Structure 1
Amino acid sequence: MYKVIAIFGTRPEAIKMAPVIQELKKHHHIETKIIVTAQHREMLDQVLEYFDIVPDYDLNIMKVNQTLVGVTTAIMQELEALLIQEKPNMILVHGDTTTAFTSAMTAYYHQISVAHVEAGLRTNNKYSPFPEEANRQLIGVLADLHFAPTNQAKQNLLEEGKPLETIIVTGNTSIDALMKTVNDDYRHPLIDSIRQKQRRMILLTAHRRENFGESMQNIFMATRDLVEAYDDIEVVFPVHLNPLIKQLAKQVLGDLSRVHLIPPLDVIDFHNFLGQSYLVLTDSGGIQEEAPSLGVPVLVMRDTTERPEGVEVGTLKLVGCHRETIVAETSRLLDDLELYKRMASASNPYGDGQASIRIVNKILESALSNQND
């Protein structure tokens, strides 16, 4: 029997891999196993519970104040023994995390085929985002199958010399996940309170390593400026678990009644908060795909994006991490209804909700080829 092992360790990976795993489980002639590294423990478990995914192995590598080197070495040491034991035909990794890169490298050392979900995204600046851009490029060197979400991602891979027959344009599995989580009847006390006061909700997310320090200070100070300038907005910030972010957010924003510093939301809450937001301020990656699918404009607080398709069609705008620029660009969206409507109604370039089916069909093709060999 053809054996596939899906490996992931963070909440975004889990959200985007969940629809693929559910689709794989429909095919009984493929043995599907799941390994989680728990690179981010608390956030990961929320997703596993919602999608009813039970890992076969949990490496539980998360440590206090862990470094990238520590995460990398821990995963490689733990994963190697499991790959030797399970002898999979293929491993399936997602995106640009340290888990994904390290798993691909470990599989390569054992000559196990690597399939890369969400392949081909590029900024071509190895330090932006850090370490994700380098992780993604290095996985691309090792991968045998590249599941590219867009034609632009496919073109990036072709320009790097990847064989055409190894690249499959699938759409992004984040859209598949949204179709399972967003509910028109969703209610939450915080959202109800903001609505009752007839205020616009801005969803803020900020956690990128390259933004630690001055850039994160700028993001939070810009948020403060906006709340003080506009009486009709409230900001909801699900604060990342990193202690540095929590401390700075409380210091800069903690005294503002219209800024809600809340714990990380589970997947169903987060997607529905996203869908009911007026706009999004973020330095994240996946939100750049999810929000446009829900008609929500996104201002990306980074200097680069590996998702340029959204910028090109007008659903996203790069605003960097300068305090004045963030305030100015957000103010434009808050003040100019026509500009807002253009961004909110721009077409979503990231897929139709069928990405998981396309991915699994290609894996089935690989399984059949393996049997014929």
Structure 2
Amino acid sequence: MAPEGSENLNALFVVGTRPEAIKMLPLIAAVRDSQWFHPIVVSTGQHAELVAEVLAIDGITPDVTFDMPKGPRGLNDLFAKVMLDLNQFLLDRFGPPRKANVAPYPEGYPSACFVHGDTTSAAAAALTAFHRHLPVVHVEAGLRTSDTLSPFPEELNRQLISRIAALHLAPTINNKANLVREGIDYARVFVTGNTAIDALRIAAEHRTPYTDPLLADLEDDEGTTPVVTVTAHRRENWGQPLSRIADAVGLLADQYPHVRFVVALHPNPEVADVLRGRLFGHDNVSLVAPMGYAEFARLLRRATFAITDSGGIQEEAPSLGTPVLCVRDTTERQEGVSAGTVELVGTDTVDIIEAARRLLDDPAELADRRARRNPYGDGHAAERIVKALEYIAYSTEAPTSFGPGFARSAVLRAGGRDSEQIGFEGGWPEGWAG
């Protein structure tokens, strides 16, 4: 990081969870390495050790980590704690809030506050920054299910941050369209690709050893054993949905004894205990401790496919050629569903088994799914974002957005075509133009 007091503009990054850290890592590193900006990194303490571990992959250390009480806590408790701690940090380091529309900024005052995605930490940080007249930049903006109860509370967090943010960094053109439909000025939305793909490129440079002894045999495995990676942790799946997911994995393990199922347990014991209780005793199921990001990226690359409710994995796995079975009832990442890199299968045990059997039994289907192009990014999102910041702050050359600038699926729908009808030759299909 540049030394404090340099002429570079300070940029505040607030990170609470491991997924946030993963997706902020390449952007913080790019800002650190730029000649114009200096990152100030705040860890809210929500996943303090995991955040520190991820950021350390590229030599980044949080400037401050808040002391988050251990044990169960409600969403309101978490929201309030982040707001109070962040406000006190800003007060101690930069003094009282600046007044709106007053220039110049006090010396060293951050030029913007960067928050990511949809976590409670991100929403609380955005509201705190707003109260201090500190512009908010929303990384991974515009994802929507339009149902504020699914996923809960993430969907409402996203929408709240969208009302606050000055600059919206949307991964895809569809995400930008979501924001425009909600009344966000299209001129404040920049399509960047997803920084998760950038992070994956960083992690892929490390052949990180597996730390869990249960995976020792995969160290020298040349890919002859089919491996299915499994993760499940989202709040809306707690209870019966999580039990059904676990039952599906157990039945698949019985039906396919030659396939290795690696279940990466979540740190939350309420989640881990359900999976452990229903899957313990299967010889071909490895219940492994929470994995570091770099080693999990290696496992994901090794996998035949993934069964997951993780939003990040829906975006990352296709870059590694790994198809995803998404065990959720809804997903805000519809681009992957349209592209065929993600299949939304829900949490019904029978549906999960049928989807998995199609990939395990049909090599042609598996090969087709592995070859699909990742719609979420090309690994250069952080570079585009830094160029956008330079353009805003210093009127340098404007950056080029990610993607074609329009959504193919939207055009096909408007023309009365199904988005799955692809690859026609010889001009427009008969009747396409109406």
* TM-score of the pair, normalised by structure 1: 0.95
* TM-score of the pair, normalised by structure 2: 0.82
Tell me what 1:78 maps to.
85
Tell me what 1:59 maps to.
66
In 1, are the aligned partners of 2:228 and 2:259 still within 8 Å (CA)? Answer: yes
Q: Measure the CA separation in 2 of the matches of 1:184 and 1:112.
A: 37
What is the correspondence of 1:1-373 to structure 2 with a 5 Å cutoff? Answer: 1=7, 2-84=9-91, 85-86=93-94, 87-183=109-205, 188=210, 189-190=215-216, 192=218, 195=221, 198-368=224-394
The verdict on how the C-alpha distance between 1:354 and 1:197 changes in structure 2, with shifts beyond 3 A counting, is closer
The verdict on how the C-alpha distance between 1:186 and 1:243 changes in structure 2, with shifts beyond 3 A counting, is closer
Q: Measure the CA separation in 2 of the matches of 1:41 and 1:25.
A: 21
TM-superposed deviation, 1:184? 8.7
Q: Measure the CA separation in 2 of the matches of 1:365 and 1:196.
A: 47
Larger Rg belongs to: 2
Q: Measure the CA separation in 2 of the matches of 1:58 and 1:348.
A: 34
In 2, are the aligned partners of 1:291 and 1:298 still within 8 Å (CA)? Answer: yes
TM-superposed deviation, 1:183? 4.6
Q: Measure the CA separation in 1 of the matches of 2:297 and 2:119.
A: 21
In 2, are the aligned partners of 1:154 and 1:167 still within 8 Å (CA)? Answer: yes
SS of 1:236's partner is strand
RMSD of aligned residue pairs (Cα, Å): 1.7
Of stretches 45-54 and 191-200 in structure 1, the one that deviates more from structure 2 is 191-200
Q: Which amino acid aligns with 1:24?
A: V
SS of 2:311's partner is coil
The verdict on how the C-alpha distance between 1:124 and 1:349 changes in structure 2, with shifts beyond 3 A counting, is same
SS of 1:265's partner is coil
TM-superposed deviation, 1:160? 0.8
In 1, are the aligned partners of 2:18 and 2:51 still within 8 Å (CA)? Answer: yes
In 2, are the aligned partners of 1:117 and 1:146 still within 8 Å (CA)? Answer: yes
Q: Report Cα offsets for 1:111-155 as digits up to 9, x if no partner.
A: 110000100011111111111111111111100000000010011
Q: Measure the CA separation in 1 of the matches of 2:269 and 2:250.
A: 20
The verdict on how the C-alpha distance between 1:311 and 1:194 changes in structure 2, with shifts beyond 3 A counting, is farther
TM-superposed deviation, 1:194? 9.0
Q: Report Cα offsets for 1:148-206 as digits up to 9, x if no partner.
A: 00010011111111112110000000111111111596664535279479421100010
SS of 2:33's partner is coil
Q: Measure the CA separation in 2 of the matches of 1:296 and 1:246.
A: 24
Q: Measure the CA separation in 2 of the matches of 1:167 and 1:60.
A: 34
Q: Measure the CA separation in 1 of the matches of 2:183 and 2:353.
A: 41
In 2, are the aligned partners of 1:302 and 1:320 still within 8 Å (CA)? Answer: yes
Q: Which amino acid aligns with 2:34?
A: H
In 2, are the aligned partners of 1:283 and 1:300 still within 8 Å (CA)? Answer: yes
Q: Report Cα offsets for 1:35-90 as digits up to 9, x if no partner.
A: 11021233223212222111111113252112211111110110112223333221
Q: Measure the CA separation in 1 of the matches of 2:38 and 2:203.
A: 26
Q: Measure the CA separation in 2 of the matches of 1:184 and 1:91.
A: 30
Gaps of 5+ in 2: 1-6, 95-108, 396-434
The verdict on how the C-alpha distance between 1:348 and 1:191 changes in structure 2, with shifts beyond 3 A counting, is farther
Identity over aligned residues, as a percent? 40
Q: Measure the CA separation in 1 of the matches of 2:378 and 2:284.
A: 36
More helix by share: 1
In 2, are the aligned partners of 1:198 and 1:232 still within 8 Å (CA)? Answer: no
SS of 2:329's partner is coil
Q: Measure the CA separation in 2 of the matches of 1:288 and 1:126.
A: 20
The verdict on how the C-alpha distance between 1:318 and 1:3 changes in structure 2, with shifts beyond 3 A counting, is same
The verdict on how the C-alpha distance between 1:196 and 1:162 changes in structure 2, with shifts beyond 3 A counting, is closer
In 1, are the aligned partners of 2:328 and 2:345 still within 8 Å (CA)? Answer: yes
Q: Which amino acid aligns with 1:354?
A: H
In 1, are the aligned partners of 2:263 and 2:287 still within 8 Å (CA)? Answer: yes
Q: Measure the CA separation in 1 of the matches of 2:227 and 2:194.
A: 26
SS of 1:54's partner is coil
The 4+ residue runs of structure 1 with deviation greater than 6 A are none
Q: Measure the CA separation in 1 of the matches of 2:202 and 2:223.
A: 30
Of stretches 29-38 and 341-350 in structure 1, the one that deviates more from structure 2 is 29-38
Gaps of 5+ in 1: none
